[in-house]
Structure 1
Amino acid sequence: MARIWALVLVAVLVVGTLVGRLGQLQVSDGPQMRAAAERINTRSVPIPAVRGRILDASGKPLVANGSTEVLTIDPATLAAAADGGRALIARVAKVVGGDPVQMFGRTKPCGTKGAPKPPLCNTADAVRPVPILLDVSPVKALPLLERPEDFPGLAVESVPVRRYPGPDGANAAQLLGYLGPVNQADLEADPALTADDRVGRAGLELQYEAQLRGTDGRSVLAVDARGLPTREVERTAPVAGADVRTNLDAAVQQRAESALAQGVSRLRATKKVAATGGAAVVLDASSGAVVAAASNPSYDPSVWSGGISTADYAALTAQTAHQPLLNRAVGDLQPPASTFKGVTLPAAIASGVDPKGSYECSSAYRVGGRVFTNFESSAYGPISMTKALEVSCDTVFYRWAYGQWQQAGGLKAPADSADPFAAMARQFGIGERTGVDLPGEQAGLLPDRQWKVANWQATRADLCRRAKTGYPEVKDSKQADYLKQVAAENCAAGYLYQPGDAVNFAIGQGSTQVTPLRMAVVYAAIANGGTLWTPQVAAAVEPASGRARPIAPKIAGPVTMPAAAQQIERDGLRNVVAQPQGTAYAAFRGFPGSYPISGKTGTAEVFGKQATAWFVSYGPKLPSGKQYVVAVMIEQGGTGAEGAAPVARQIWDLLRGRK
């Protein structure tokens, strides 16, 4: 009996304790428990913001929005499979017609063993569905979804993608850029990003990512014990990204692209030059607005929509493709050749050369122990400065540059001695980025005395080693011997600014390097009388609600040229196109004289390659105030007159209809 009463007493104590604890939870801890329960029983779902469009100057969409279907697989399904899901994906590929190797590669986290390189690997976190097939047909995927026991973890999701309407046939792939999945660095840099987001990776998509992206919304859902949503608790609406209106004219962009592509194809067909690629830039000299910028070779930007395939990525990055992802307008450095005479002629006058003088245009000019020749060894006798531009006489420019080099002190001149030629080039921005609103711009190179010293200090050890070992990897013995000789000379005295450096600089050869956009900016300053503009692709940011925010033109600085130089350049550059001896006369034969074009050809010697073809030009100031500049460069395109000028002519045929 005593044992029974003891058990009853224990039971009473236990029940009392439980009741007391329950009361404590209800009275004192109730609010906190309820809040915790609510937190546990809700799920937050992002509402993606609509990305802004990219428009041409008239409002035509160059980039718009659309959607596509993507086949995904649950990472838990992959983790549960002994082979990581390889066999399952192989069966899936047979049904939908995909590449099983590529599809399985997309499940591998980027950076792990056996994973493909981005963007073909998995950038999502470990709990999100993994996209394994892009642009999947829902009809083809239906058999998979109807048999979850055979094809577990699969789903078809509709995802937003970028579309490219191509107004007037414009492509503009390198200008527009593309989107790619976020990586860990992106997530750490911007807490607002999620693993599912796609961000700008090139072109305007990258440059204006913050404006185009917008702000995602959020839906907070109450869920039951099974995790299924029962109601929406809270909702924050997304804010759409702003449109970016550009200065691009879609019709001019298309003409620049087609003219450049035809020019490259025409040159290749001759089998005389490789014509590996090129660029064509159209600027407005009155504001720096980028009206068009074509780069060749190009590609279809829609290959990035929803994620790029292995085959497309391999095609774009193959060595034989000649770098279609490179925007050659801003990222390709070449010697400017004789187009640079538009810079060095005013420099010569600023250094004291008589603008009214007569100068010997001989077929060759000896400087020290070297002979520098005119292009094709032409000779014109005593000529004026205007004629020197018209016929592109190198030896006249050699004489001016050598005289200035001697005047400065020759080899004894200190590195910081005054150099009117280098000073004028700096005013035109040579050796600096233009500041255009595009990623990937190269600065170029201005090889003055100070650069010569710095470059020698940086490369001396390697030069001296090469002076001893030579270049055994170079198959051509004559070329290898030449390189070894140059290395020996530069090892001993590479810091000296030689007379050959000065005369080469005067005609845009040697180590001078520029982009096509930089030369367009230079000739815009020549055309407008000395205003150096910062080129601008975007004209305004236009939010979905609210006022448009115009992007004001920016002046990079003035270019101070002697008045006599400006008049000589106006006359000489016009004669290049209009006079029978002008180097671009043949390309512009029959072009209306009522719309005068001025310009300069260039044929740049590049070591180990065929010559780079240049033609940079400008037209008259129009009633609207606009004044167009067209710059064309073709890598390994031969002479400027035969390679680049005909491309520019096709672009001018369209531009002369603009008011």
Structure 2
Amino acid sequence: MSNIPDTGRTSRITIRLIVIQILVVSLLLTLGGRLWYLQIRQGDEYQEAAAGNHVQQVVQPAVRGSILDARGVPLADNETRLVVSADRTELLRQRDGGEQVLADLAELLGMEEEEVRNKVRLCDSQTPQPCWNGSPYQPIPVTDEATTEQALQIRERGEAFPGIIAEPAAVRRYTAPDGASTSQVLGYLSPVTDEEVEDAKDSDSPLLRSDQIGRSGLERTYDSYLRGSAGVTRYEVDKFGRVTGEADNDEAVAGANIVTSIDSRVQAVVEKELLQAMKDARQQRDEITGRNYEADSGAVVVMENDTGRVVAMASAPDYDPNVWVGGISGGDYQELTGEDSNYPLLNRAIQGQSPAGSTFKVVTSAGAVNAGYPFEGNYDCSSSYSIGSQTFRNFESTGYGPISLGRALEVSCNTVFYRLAHQEWQKDGGSSPGDDPNDFLYETAHGFGLGKPTGIDLPAEVTGRVPDREWKRSYWEANKDSWCEMAKSDENDFAHRLARENCEEGWKLRAGDAVNFSIGQGDVLVTPIQMASIYAAIANGGTLYEPTVGKAVIGADGTVIEEIEPTESGKLPASEQTIRQLRQATEDVVTTGTASWRFAGWPQDEVPLYAKTGTATTDNKQSRSWLTTFSDDYTIVMTMDQAGTGSGASGVAVRRMYEAIYGVSEDGSIDREAALLPQPMRDLPEIDENGTIIAGEDG
């Protein structure tokens, strides 16, 4: 066999390999050239085209849920209005930043140019209200009161109003049924900020830039229920703004409704009587200052005894929450927040704190019993009580001799409580207490729920203050530097002498602190809602409840999502016998004591009432009126700043509130058909087969 290689066959294989290599190299060169052409030569063009294709979102705001009273009557709902809005992004594309467009818009709407400009400017730390604190990328409402003619002109003359939108929209409406504004309880809305959107993006209730959220009151507490979920339609759009497709969509989900325990009829009476009482007080002369009472503010709470549910809550001065709808004007904002406004946004029922005056004496009485003093014992009600060189006087320097604690409550004898507090202070070691002083009176005050929030379902409740030893030390530590600096002065007036004393031992609980505390004065601070909780607990046998305004959350389809049940927050630190004795003493206040002159002729056998009057004083102000009362069903607490005595300033108004609730005439007869709410409303309003909550006269 021949060993000569087949050169012809080898040549053919080599040629084939060369051809394949040439083809591969050619393909790689072609592909590389095409990639170079696309990425380098035409890269900018394709990048611009790709950037022009994006997804646009069209947001359909959800219908916000309504807030209803206990009978299903709307307190806050929605109505359709013609809303004119401005798109800042479009306005800023104008050569003059949209100035001329806004000027033309102001003329069309009959508004001031400055007002329109202010409404569309963005809020920051340097920009006062009015301004827009929502997202700059969403249309900003200019007015929600446009006429049909104005809206048509804007739509038909689009070239003259670029960036201006006029369309129907659902806006919030605060209905004030029966004249009850319920403003501080309801709260108000304003646009969400970008920061809030960012903070809420991972929460169970994320926010869109188009959302309005609650800023106070029930609108804030139950915002996540009321707001619902906005609908979002997503369109794929090319760089020319042409829709090329539709992406996934989210349907709008209407917000849930909140049924409250408020009765709008009772609320209307309470608001009316509070304002009338303030007006009447301003006609009365203050014998101490020599001028008429100012009666500049006040609050009332009406609460169910057995549940802690709030039937009515009023705070004066109040405001119309509708001024926030569609953006608040500069004038309205100044009226609500300026130095001369007296701060109507403040809910004084839960945020107004002051000394309690003699209404505090039920706490001191329970504390005295806990310390071993018998309720029916004999205690000297002298006209005054002295500690060293300081004399503490009874009201109008009246003395009643030896009396019980019940009688001391009935006639509101200060000196009985002065003596008890001073004796307890001495037993605890006076200014140099032992390691574990009993502090019965202070501990009892804490047990009554004072010095902490009640837990009501309204935002920004304040705590009040129990000025015990712990508070005295913390207050001293916070102020000692300024006291000690003032003490260096050679001046010897009262303020400088007090500063020297406080610098050295301001942390000590003094005898004067104890006796002032015993009658709800000195550094004691309480709120009307706290006092309502205390007296409702005395009425129901000793149970403290977390007050609530919300009663149920009901979906837009009528489904009951949640019933808000009463929640116990504690028990009064008092025996059943002590509570019965407190009830009897407070009934005596109405029948023969300090409130009897205001309740003469009241049908006590049919509708028994109980009360404690109080007159609190603070430096540089006229006296504050307190009247805490309860029936078998309800507690009513009323207070007015700079208005005079408890029964004198508040007695008539509180009596009229009870008359309206129970249908009692001025002559003491009872008209059951005229009674607004002779017993608490336990059931929810009726809901029809369509899920609509039916407003009824009786629920």
TM-score with structure 2 setting the length: 0.83
Of residues 633, 636, 639, the one that matches 2:645 is 639
Contact 2:91 2:162 in 1 (8 A): no
Query: What is the distance in 2 between the residues matched to 1:212 and 1:552?
Result: 19
Of residues 598, 602, 623, the one that matches 1:611 is 623
Contact 2:61 2:210 in 1 (8 A): no
Who is 1:187 aligned against? 197
Matches within 5 A, 1:546-565: 546-565=559-578
Query: What is the distance in 2 between the residues matched to 1:431 and 1:655?
Result: 31
Between 645-654 and 411-420, report the one with greater CA deviation.
Answer: 411-420
How far is 1:644 from its partner? Answer: 2.0
Q: 1:76 to 1:496 in 2, by over 3 A?
A: closer
Q: 1:412 to 1:585 in 2, by over 3 A?
A: same
How far is 1:42 from its partner? Answer: 4.9
How far is 1:332 from its partner? Answer: 0.4
Who is 2:266 aligned against? 252
Of residues 503, 508, 520, the one that matches 2:520 is 508
Matched, 1:590 2:601: yes
Matched, 1:541 2:556: no
Q: 1:496 to 1:293 in 2, by over 3 A?
A: same
Contact 2:75 2:174 in 1 (8 A): yes
After superposition, the C-alpha distances for 1:407-435 in whole angstroms (9 at most, x for unaligned) are 11111114751111011111111100001
How far is 1:325 from its partner? Answer: 0.5
Q: 1:433 to 1:159 in 2, by over 3 A?
A: same
Query: What is the distance in 2 between the residues matched to 1:70 and 1:469?
Result: 64
Query: What is the distance in 2 between the residues matched to 1:331 and 1:126?
Result: 34
Who is 1:476 aligned against? none
How far is 1:37 from its partner? Answer: 7.9
Contact 1:160 1:306 in 2 (8 A): no
Greater C-alpha Rg: 2
Who is 2:661 aligned against? 655
Who is 1:210 aligned against? 224
Between 323-332 and 237-246, report the one with greater CA deviation.
Answer: 237-246
Q: 1:466 to 1:503 in 2, by over 3 A?
A: same
How far is 1:65 from its partner? Answer: 1.3
Give the residue type in structure 2 aligned to 1:559: L
Matches within 5 A, 1:420-439: 420-439=440-459
Q: 1:68 to 1:269 in 2, by over 3 A?
A: farther
Who is 2:150 aligned against? 140
Query: For 1:633, what is the secondary structure of its paired residue?
Result: strand
Of residues 77, 94, 117, the one that matches 1:64 is 77
Query: What is the distance in 1 between the residues matched to 2:510 and 2:125?
Result: 53
Q: Number of paired residues?
A: 617
How far is 1:126 from its partner? Answer: 4.3
Query: For 1:446, what is the secondary structure of its paired residue?
Result: coil
Contact 2:303 2:636 in 1 (8 A): yes
Contact 1:159 1:306 in 2 (8 A): no
Query: What is the distance in 2 between the residues matched to 1:128 and 1:553?
Result: 41
How far is 1:219 from its partner? Answer: 1.7
Matched, 1:465 2:475: no
Who is 1:4 aligned against? none
Give the residue type in structure 2 aligned to 1:589: A
Contact 1:108 1:116 in 2 (8 A): no
Query: What is the distance in 1 between the residues matched to 2:374 and 2:185?
Result: 44
Unpaired runs of at least 5, structure 2: 1-25, 39-45, 286-291, 663-674, 680-699
Give the residue type in structure 2 aligned to 1:570: R
How far is 1:134 from its partner? Answer: 4.1
Matched, 1:219 2:218: no
Q: 1:496 to 1:139 in 2, by over 3 A?
A: same
Q: 1:63 to 1:470 in 2, by over 3 A?
A: farther
Q: Percent identity?
A: 40
Q: 1:372 to 1:83 in 2, by over 3 A?
A: farther
Between 255-264 and 306-315, report the one with greater CA deviation.
Answer: 306-315
Query: For 1:644, what is the secondary structure of its paired residue?
Result: helix
Matched, 1:284 2:304: yes
Query: For 1:397, what is the secondary structure of its paired residue?
Result: helix
Contact 2:306 2:540 in 1 (8 A): yes
Query: What is the distance in 1 between the residues matched to 2:517 and 2:191?
Result: 45
Between 336-345 and 152-161, report the one with greater CA deviation.
Answer: 152-161
Query: What is the distance in 1 between the residues matched to 2:60 and 2:158?
Result: 28
After superposition, the C-alpha distances for 1:577-631 in whole angstroms (9 at most, x for unaligned) are 111xx111122122211211111011001111111110011102xxxxxx21000
Contact 2:141 2:327 in 1 (8 A): no
Who is 1:93 aligned against? 106
Matches within 5 A, 1:245-644: 245-270=259-284, 272-414=292-434, 416-468=436-488, 481-545=493-557, 546-579=559-592, 582-593=593-604, 594-620=606-632, 627-644=633-650
How far is 1:228 from its partner? Answer: 4.9
Query: What is the distance in 2 between the residues matched to 1:236 and 1:283?
Result: 42
Who is 1:103 aligned against? 116
Query: For 1:294, what is the secondary structure of its paired residue?
Result: strand
Query: What is the distance in 2 between the residues matched to 1:234 and 1:38?
Result: 20
Matched, 1:236 2:242: no
Contact 1:182 1:196 in 2 (8 A): yes
Matches within 5 A, 1:22-37: none
Who is 1:201 aligned against? 215
Q: 1:470 to 1:608 in 2, by over 3 A?
A: farther
Q: 1:559 to 1:538 in 2, by over 3 A?
A: same
Of residues 144, 154, 164, the one that matches 1:154 is 164
Query: What is the distance in 1 between the residues matched to 2:385 and 2:180?
Result: 47
Q: 1:283 to 1:335 in 2, by over 3 A?
A: same
C-alpha RMSD of matched pairs (Å): 2.7
Of residues 151, 167, 186, the one that matches 1:176 is 186
Contact 1:316 1:324 in 2 (8 A): yes
Query: For 1:264, what is the secondary structure of its paired residue?
Result: helix
Give the residue type in structure 2 aligned to 1:572: A
Query: For 2:219, what is the secondary structure of its paired residue?
Result: helix
How far is 1:39 from its partner? Answer: 9.9
Query: For 1:410, what is the secondary structure of its paired residue?
Result: coil
TM-score with structure 1 setting the length: 0.88
Give the residue type in structure 2 aligned to 1:217: G
Contact 1:42 1:222 in 2 (8 A): yes
Query: For 2:340, what is the secondary structure of its paired residue?
Result: helix
Query: For 1:311, what is the secondary structure of its paired residue?
Result: helix
How far is 1:224 from its partner? Answer: 6.7
After superposition, the C-alpha distances for 1:428-450 in whole angstroms (9 at most, x for unaligned) are 11100001110010001000112
Give the residue type in structure 2 aligned to 1:173: S
Contact 1:385 1:568 in 2 (8 A): no
Contact 2:381 2:413 in 1 (8 A): yes
Give the residue type in structure 2 aligned to 1:185: E
After superposition, the C-alpha distances for 1:107-155 in whole angstroms (9 at most, x for unaligned) are 3222176x333xx223344443333344222423544544444443322
Give the residue type in structure 2 aligned to 1:381: G
Who is 1:8 aligned against? none
Who is 1:78 aligned against? 91
Who is 2:131 aligned against? 121
Between 561-570 and 296-305, report the one with greater CA deviation.
Answer: 561-570
Give the residue type in structure 2 aligned to 1:92: L
Query: What is the distance in 2 between the residues matched to 1:539 and 1:446?
Result: 31
Query: For 1:586, what is the secondary structure of its paired residue?
Result: helix
